[in-house]
Structure 1
């Protein structure tokens, strides 16, 4: 019986293509071995195994992706990253930017967590492989507006809204102006720039309110927009932070 050979070599022979093209077919998720997608060109296959190349296969490098996650309460950014699996992918019907990318194993590797928020908060979390997104969210971190909703209890002190908007100092540092408004009797909306979201609960306490929960709804022009808790979707190609 012949020794198993590299899958890339088998695919190159089947497709009558170069070894590099065969590797791209495999890495792109276009090749099945005995009915199962295999994405590792170095995998070895026996002569009797059935190798099938998708008729729509294209030999091109996979583009880097950015994933948007609805982070649950109680999970830090690193811990929440474990939710980025194919099983937790949310349906993307109705989103802009064309068809969603095909889910590949490589989409979950080398993801950089961007614009951290407290473990006690829920809402929009961003993880990216795209150096352009990573650079944007790193270099312009202080310029990107974050929209948060905070559930509170208690009674706000006199002049409290003005203090929240442009009057508090944290450890001698004057906080940047914020847009603050009531969404209901127990819910405050914050739109902030240039500060850590972790300061928002402290801001509430400074004006006599007890923060009960916090949720990030938007980063720049990218919204949470109905993403189910604990699930993720791809950042649309035409989306801009």
Structure 2
């Protein structure tokens, strides 16, 4: 499976780069759970960390399986497949021990490729609660998302994120133009599953009419899990849209209305 091969390549690359790993002779280092999302349309790429190639022929829309990495700082570079010149580069990207991080290669608001690491919220949820996280990683304008007629996420722009803990169950959501009450799409029914953080990424370009949706789910956020929740990921595809209909509506709205460089740091 391509995603799993990518995870293996990342692990092997870190070993080649001299990243410390736990052994019987050394105290284990604190680790982080890391996933990588490719959100730059039309570019099959290679990914490097600390000068070593980690991912080869990484295709747009791919979200790697989560894996454990030692905490520390990483120099990241993305190149066109088979090339060495950097399309995107970020040095000293902090990967904190114990955190759950998704690194996203995407377009900024002006259509320039950038890297943005996001820290995924894995804090415990109360009984009967679910978490929604929306990340704007597309070259597209701002939107507001409402639930039950009340704003939940407002003025969401690239590369910002918004999140809310809500009662599990079905709520009615719609999408409006940022700062207005003008409904662009909806309302739509949203099914929120207890004890999960559903993370939705809008990626691509509105002006190029190639916006797409990627969905990541972090589960096990209620009770007392034995470790940091890992989450799940996969190809951004139409069959994922029912996971969160409001997010799908947001992406469709961005396509309808068309179209700052991202800070390279963990966004919590």
TM score, norm. by length of structure 2: 0.26
**Bigger relative contact order (CA 8 A; separation at least 6):** 1
- Structure with higher strand content: 2
Asked which structure has the greater CA Rg, the reply is 1
- Structure with higher helix content: 1
TM score, norm. by length of structure 1: 0.28
